[in-house]
Amino acid sequence: MKAKVANPQKSLKVALVYDRVNTPYGGAEKLLQTLHELYPFSPLYTSLYDQKLAPWADIFEVRPSFLNKIPFLKNKHRLVAFLMPIAFESFDFSEFDLVISITSAEAKGIITLPNTTHICYLLTPPRYLYSHRNFYLQTKLIFKIPILKFFAKKFLDYLIFWDQIAIHRPDTIIPISKIVQERTKKYYDLKTENPIYPTLINSSLSTKTTPPPKTEKYFLIISRLVSYKKIDLAIKACQQLNKKLIIVGEGPEKENLQKLITKPTLIKLAGSTTQKKLNQLYQNCSALLMIGEEDFGIVALEAWAFGKPVIINQKSGASELVTHKKTGLLLKKVDLSGIKTALLEVEQHHWQPAIIKARARKYNQVGFKRQFASALKNALQ
């Protein structure tokens, strides 16, 4: 049993840990921003850090692992996944009273001394080890080569073995949603604390704008371009219905998605954009689409702040907050037919923006910080 630090509200020396800091600003990064506001002097430990790809991290004192000394690896974390356990175990946290890991991969596997409390804010068990293991092995071209697939399976077996040990290292595990809580029980046979839903970062949004000019209606996706987000289905559905779709985000699937676009006047891959432009896109859209199975999906809260409904996979964390046909549509049938039906339904339904905005206001930074502070107090005691 670890000896806990007394008086958790005063003079805590805190460190944050995140899997890797080499991707554009997304939901997990917004969580880090909130925690930075709670603990502004906390350094951020991570395996790899690419300042050019992650300018959002400039507010942190980032302390990367030894892997970062190899320049070409800074944005190639998939190549060295088998080294991630060593990278996180190499950190020394002896100077800290509290360490908070925010993780969907290996950051929970840090090693702390008995007088340091480790709270894990769990985004999900690693997808590539559990729920999506076979998908990754079957869809990556490099694994079509039998010998490479053989070694890949061995590495994944090793990482699962390590991950099953690492999950027991935190003193407290807080899942981001009930769905993640259920996954934790399924893959680790562990009970966790009650979920703490992410916060809407009001400072990043500007909803008090002049009424937008009348423009052609469009649906909006804001997401990293990765396969499990199922953006390909959204593209196909919108093209078949002749509906306009704007997709904001970057990722490894960008080229594949571009090839699916047969009606470029309807479908736009907008890449990265400014917050001002993003606010305008929220303001003018018909609805936000979240087709894939998200651990949570903070963009749902952002859409609500503008009074916009969401079409969301019912297995996503944020779906736990959706009232069907009041703040959005729960997508139960995640295929082309189901998506097309939902697109037509969301246009025909009469939405009340005031009700939707009120739902967004429930998930503010004050509430999040209060819940997190309470969980911290319990963990330290």
List of residues 6+ apart from 94 with CB closer than 8 A: 113, 116
pLDDT tens digits, one per residue of 169-190: 999 999 999 999 999 999 999 9
CB 255 within 8 A of CB 231: no
Architecture in CATH for domain 202-361? 3-Layer(aba) Sandwich (3.40)
In this predicted model, which residue has the larger pLDDT, 220 or 3?
A: 220
In angstroms, the CA 126 to CA 132 distance is 9
pLDDT tens digits, one per residue of 142-170: 777 888 889 889 999 999 999 999 999 99
Q: What is the pLDDT of residue 135?
A: 81
Residue 117 has pLDDT above 50, yes or no: yes
Q: What residue type is assigned to position 31 of the chain?
A: L
User: How is the chain split into domains, by residue range?
Assistant: 14-199+365-380, 202-361
Q: What is the pLDDT of residue 211?
A: 54
Q: What is the pLDDT of residue 329?
A: 98
Residue 207 has pLDDT above 80, yes or no: no
- Token output for 139: 């869809």
pLDDT tens digits, one per residue of 327-340: 999 999 999 999 99
Residue 233 has pLDDT above 80, yes or no: yes
Orientation angle between helical segments 298-305 and 353-361, nearest 10 degrees = 130
* Domain 14-199+365-380 shares a fold with domain 202-361: yes
14-199+365-380 domain in CATH 3.80.10?
no
Q: H/E element holding 182?
A: helix 178-188
